[in-house]
Structure 1
Amino acid sequence: MSTSAQYAVGAQLDELGHTTLFDILDSACDRYADRPAFSCGADTLTFNQLRGRADAFARYLRQHALLEPGDRLAIQLPNLLQYTIAIFGALRAGLIIVNTNPQYTPYETRHQFADSGAKAVVVLDKLVPLVRKIQSSTDIETLIVTSMDDYASPQYDSSEADEVRFMQALRLGDELPAIETQRGLDDLAVLQYTGGTTGVSKGAMLTHRNILCNVLQAVSILKEGDVDYGNEVRISPLPLYHIFAFTANCIASVFTGFHSVLITNPRDLDGLINELKRRPFTLLSGINSLFISLMAHPQFDTVDFSRLKWVNSGGAPLNIELAKRWTERTGSIIREGYGLTETSPVVVASTAFTPHREGYIGKPVIDTLLKTVDDDGAETPRGEPGEVLIRGPQVMQGYWHRPDETAAAFTEDGWLKTGDVGVIDNQGFLKLVDRKKDMILVSGFNVYPNDIEDAVMRHPGVRECVAVGVLDDRTGEAIKIYVSLNDAELTEDAIIAHCREHLTGYKIPKHVEIRDDLPKSTVGKLLRRVLRDEARGETKA
């Protein structure tokens, strides 16, 4: 739904001469050659090695698997070196990538494969039975199978006619002639599926131009001296199948020559702590739940954070109290970003050019316009909440094969409707208030769960908190909070007393439930929707 002809990043693309995402890797090889691009465990790929293996994989896809430019290739892997090869190989072959969560159920996998029309899948060996279970209701013809240790200990033999081992595909591709990419800036590069929290999961259509522009927008927040291109080490625990990690930790990292250390299983905190100890890391990406878990680890304070220059948080709103605790423990500031699957994803970021402002995310990245509107679509004044609308060259072309939902996602004059409630102050800083659907109405007052959660999290005994609205005969809705604790002795009454010190009367939770753990998505985002539905079901009963 957007073009970049009028944008500064469009001129930058012209100057760079990039027409596909693979051009980023070509340029990186010219600059960084045999420096490390990605590591996973004990194994490392240099930029030149990545390009060589990606080229081989592309030749296999086009000339052996007989996929054509524009065909969809699903990738269903955790963070592995094979994932990065598959990404750039698919881009080199002119295919459209369908990033797929390896923890999906058969139902979720079937929907994504069938909806996208993917003809082949790069899949972890232990997930092959899942794919076989749903294959007949999809267009999947070829399974390219890899294992966790395939890069270090390659396997080449497969038992089924429609299966090939990933390393065998590379071997076959090495023997084939070179190919042309046959794609351009306005061709689709990725079908990135939404989380499906507001209905069926939809494929956001992201072009090479969308993502290339967003890479340029993302790196524009760095000023000279902040980082040293080609000499930074980034710890990357967020999964590459998530749009934030895909763009920031994979594509943009190649553009800047960063050495990205992929963490296959961030839930293995012992392993992650050990990786932090043995790597001279300078950059780190994470999410609320990961920062909380790390700080709760008994070895956290033995990690050397002295080289750490930049910490990024994305995928969920950053909790203010959590950010304070992180800074106290490490001396580094977590810089929050905001974006959507539909925006490739970066829209707003805390940058080196803008002062850190507590409670605010930051300002829009270059060439990005924001405004807030009321329920009638009228723009709200600065400082007053409204739904956040976005325009920019990173905005998707629409939803795959869903014209009605595409039309509903945009205003008549082309602004993307986010469904997020935010406040833009007089200096242009954005503060997210909440999702529109998560707002709680207590006796006629709008209550935003983030406000409640931020207040509760000020108590050092609270590890995590989720606030939801439940039905109430007297106030229409009442506030219920779910908490997990750092201090096992903390009581519900003590939590309520703490809230009375920090919240006005109608915002004080009426119900408190303490749990050992709170439900999270596969990328570590707290699932407010799950708890909200559960709580409302209980009150209705």
Structure 2
Amino acid sequence: MTTLSAPESDFASRRIWLESYAASVPATLPPLDHETLPELFDDSCSRYADRKAFTSMGRSLTFHELGEQATKIAAWLQAEGFNKGDRIAVMMPNILQNPIIVFGIVKAGMIVVNVNPLYTPRELTHQLKDSGAVGIFVLENFAHTVQAVLDKVALRRVVVTSMGDMLGLKGHLVNFIVRKVKKLVPAWSIPHARSYVSVLADGGKVSFRPEALTRGDIAFLQYTGGTTGVSKGAVLTHGNLIANTMQMSFWLGSAFDNRPRPDPLLFVCALPLYHIFALTVNALMGIACGGHNVLIANPRDIPGFAKELSRYDFNIIIGLNTLFNALMNNEAFRKLDFSHLQLTFGGGMSVQRPVAERWQQITGCPIIEGYGLSETSPVATANPMNAAEFSGCIGMPISSTDVDIRDEEGRSMPLGEVGEICIRGPQVMAGYWQRPEETARVMTPDGFFRTGDVGFMDARGFTKIVDRKKDMILVSGFNVYPNEIEEVAVMHPGIHEAAAIGVPDPHSGEAVKLFVVRKDETLTEQQVKDHCAANLTNYKRPRHVAFIDELPKSNVGKILRKDLRP
């Protein structure tokens, strides 16, 4: 593809969205107070020392405690011989250990590799090998998965934690229930594994050496399929994440231009912190503003989630369409006191208008939709935070961010015409980890990231997504790529060919449907599903399997997935 770029002066005249900005939101980011995440983190831990930073299962961690314990993790990593730039994986749900470990790694100048704890051994192997991770922190519930890959990866240290490690005396009861009653911890054995508790203790006995970091240093490898199907690490620098945190902080601030702002703000963190949306919009924004995040370890337990919410006067909920829908179908949630709810921010997948309208009816708070990707740290566009109702679009570019709608040749499209959504701004990734060809495919010479999403911009500068350029399937906000599903499927000796598509699903937005051409005529739907379950994490697994005689193909033999869609 030939990419053409308009002169910058001409593009400046196209920034029509600036006219819709709240008065308190700058068109461009001012010089920032912090260059790196440790600077921001340490400043907040000092400034808000006595405030609660995170709460999980009734146990709270103050900013002072968060900073103290993260420093112990950083010191331990250094004492173990890990160096600046080493990749350290974190494989756990939303528990107090998560932010302590993540910021400990970042403070030590190392790179966080966030891992979905539900990954299968195959998926974990790929991510650890691709990133070159040399250490991992994992919740004991998932240690058996790490055990299964030890001979395939180069981990020098494995640190295992339990659900109760940060909960004091209550933690012993929690661990007993998790291990013995609910039986949620499969047997595992990892030679020389260290316990989280012992690592904290040892980290407190050694000195921490602050690392010299710059905005250009890498902070996270955030794995994503991107706009193609190979899982790869979006390289997010300290500058990327500081910029997006500050962009969203200004945006958030505008919600209180004409009404009192609670201080501290209380965030509900139900999305997993290993997902870029929660990492930035919950954890980093909360830290930046001295906010309090209530961590929900298992948001699928809707009754338990609603019970937890009943304990707090929460101000901000950040979630996905599927989460909002599930909550509203719970009677206990509908009876909660929403008088303190100031903001509901939706992203990760399109928010459906019926869901948004019902949410506003129940809570009295509109859903403010935003848009972004792992490659944009993630937020690139958002609706005004003081909007009175759901807009049905993804909003306008945030401060210092440009959005251009381009055709296949890379030319800017007129307002109202459909093309690929392209994004430029300080939050756009540095590239894909050790994949220069993949990076070149998505980055234009004038610095725009080609999202693969198709939409149009209206006369106010608001953008609406109408389709996806690629065959990506979006399941509960997670990207699922047909190539990966098909590759796993044809590993089965009874499958000749396979093709995956997304079909509408009332619970997850979309679900995977797999079309199979059998090699073994006795192959059953359940056998196909069992095979996929052994190799794919839950949201990637086919919910529907259809057997057909042959797959539709082009004249050069390319499978035509579009011909399989209803």
Give 1:34 shift: 0.7
After superposition, the C-alpha distances for 1:331-383 in whole angstroms (9 at most, x for unaligned) are: 11011110010000010011236675622221110000001112222211101
Q: Equivalent of 1:307, from 331, 340, 357? A: 340
For 1:343, the aligned partner's letter is: T
* Closer, same or farther: CA 167–119 of 1 in aligned 2, 3 Å: same
TM-score normalised by the chain length of structure 1: 0.79
Find the residue that maps to 1:261 and give its secondary structure.
strand
Aligned to 1:257: 290
CA contact (8 A) 1:60 1:170 kept: yes
Aligned to 1:81: 96
CA contact (8 A) 1:289 1:526 kept: no
Aligned to 1:38: 54
CA contact (8 A) 2:118 2:142 kept: no
Find the residue that maps to 2:430 and give its secondary structure.
coil
Find the residue that maps to 1:26 and give its secondary structure.
helix
CA contact (8 A) 1:220 1:365 kept: no
* Closer, same or farther: CA 253–533 of 1 in aligned 2, 3 Å: farther
Give 1:42 shift: 1.2
Identity of aligned residues (%): 41
CA contact (8 A) 1:75 1:122 kept: yes
> Counterparts in 2 of 1:6-405, with a 5 A limit?
11-13=30-32, 16=33, 18-63=34-79, 65-153=80-168, 162-195=192-225, 198-221=228-251, 222-223=253-254, 224-225=256-257, 228=261, 230-352=263-385, 358-405=391-438
Instruction: Figure out how many residues of one structure are paired with residues of the other and give that number.
Output: 457
After superposition, the C-alpha distances for 1:140-175 in whole angstroms (9 at most, x for unaligned) are: 1100110111112579xx986531111111111111
Once residues 174 and 183 of structure 1 are traced to their aligned partners in structure 2, the CA distance between those partners, rounded to angstroms, is 23
CA contact (8 A) 1:32 1:230 kept: no
CA contact (8 A) 2:343 2:385 kept: no
CA contact (8 A) 2:71 2:107 kept: yes
Find the residue that maps to 1:278 and give its secondary structure.
coil
CA contact (8 A) 2:226 2:375 kept: no
Give 1:252 shift: 1.2
Answer with 205-214 or 125-134: which moved more.
125-134
Give 1:532 shift: 9.4
Once residues 549 and 232 of structure 2 are traced to their aligned partners in structure 1, the CA distance between those partners, rounded to angstroms, is 27
Once residues 135 and 349 of structure 1 are traced to their aligned partners in structure 2, the CA distance between those partners, rounded to angstroms, is 42
CA contact (8 A) 2:36 2:215 kept: yes
TM-score normalised by the chain length of structure 2: 0.75
The answer to which structure, 1 or 2, has the higher relative contact order (CA under 8 A, 6+ apart) is: 2
For 2:116, the aligned partner's letter is: N
Do residues 427 (structure 1) and 427 (structure 2) align? no
Find the residue that maps to 1:437 and give its secondary structure.
coil
CA contact (8 A) 1:373 1:379 kept: yes
* Closer, same or farther: CA 484–9 of 1 in aligned 2, 3 Å: closer
> Counterparts in 2 of 1:449-488, with a 5 A limit?
482-484=504-506
* Closer, same or farther: CA 180–289 of 1 in aligned 2, 3 Å: same
For 1:45, the aligned partner's letter is: L
After superposition, the C-alpha distances for 1:157-206 in whole angstroms (9 at most, x for unaligned) are: x9865311111111111111131122221100000000468311010000
* Closer, same or farther: CA 35–303 of 1 in aligned 2, 3 Å: same
* Closer, same or farther: CA 185–251 of 1 in aligned 2, 3 Å: same
Extract unaligned runs of 5+ from structure 2.
Answer: 1-11, 13-25, 173-187, 475-481, 483-500, 508-531, 553-563
Once residues 226 and 399 of structure 2 are traced to their aligned partners in structure 1, the CA distance between those partners, rounded to angstroms, is 29
For 1:168, the aligned partner's letter is: S
After superposition, the C-alpha distances for 1:37-60 in whole angstroms (9 at most, x for unaligned) are: 000011110000000000111000
Once residues 311 and 30 of structure 2 are traced to their aligned partners in structure 1, the CA distance between those partners, rounded to angstroms, is 41
CA contact (8 A) 2:443 2:450 kept: yes
Find the residue that maps to 1:220 and give its secondary structure.
helix
CA contact (8 A) 1:141 1:162 kept: no
Give 1:300 shift: 2.4
* Closer, same or farther: CA 483–390 of 1 in aligned 2, 3 Å: closer
CA contact (8 A) 2:415 2:458 kept: yes
RMSD: 3.1
CA contact (8 A) 2:78 2:208 kept: no
* Closer, same or farther: CA 386–536 of 1 in aligned 2, 3 Å: farther
Find the residue that maps to 2:456 and give its secondary structure.
strand
Once residues 532 and 423 of structure 1 are traced to their aligned partners in structure 2, the CA distance between those partners, rounded to angstroms, is 33
Extract unaligned runs of 5+ from structure 1.
Answer: 1-5, 440-448, 451-467, 469-478, 486-518
CA contact (8 A) 2:158 2:193 kept: yes
CA contact (8 A) 1:374 1:386 kept: yes
After superposition, the C-alpha distances for 1:251-273 in whole angstroms (9 at most, x for unaligned) are: 11100111000000000111100
Find the residue that maps to 2:143 and give its secondary structure.
helix
Find the residue that maps to 2:294 and give its secondary structure.
strand
Aligned to 1:498: none
Once residues 192 and 543 of structure 2 are traced to their aligned partners in structure 1, the CA distance between those partners, rounded to angstroms, is 42
* Closer, same or farther: CA 263–61 of 1 in aligned 2, 3 Å: same
Find the residue that maps to 1:87 and give its secondary structure.
helix
Aligned to 1:406: 439
* Closer, same or farther: CA 534–257 of 1 in aligned 2, 3 Å: farther
CA contact (8 A) 2:366 2:390 kept: no
Find the residue that maps to 2:221 and give its secondary structure.
strand
Find the residue that maps to 2:125 and give its secondary structure.
helix
* Closer, same or farther: CA 279–77 of 1 in aligned 2, 3 Å: same
Once residues 456 and 85 of structure 2 are traced to their aligned partners in structure 1, the CA distance between those partners, rounded to angstroms, is 40
For 2:38, the aligned partner's letter is: F
CA contact (8 A) 2:29 2:399 kept: no
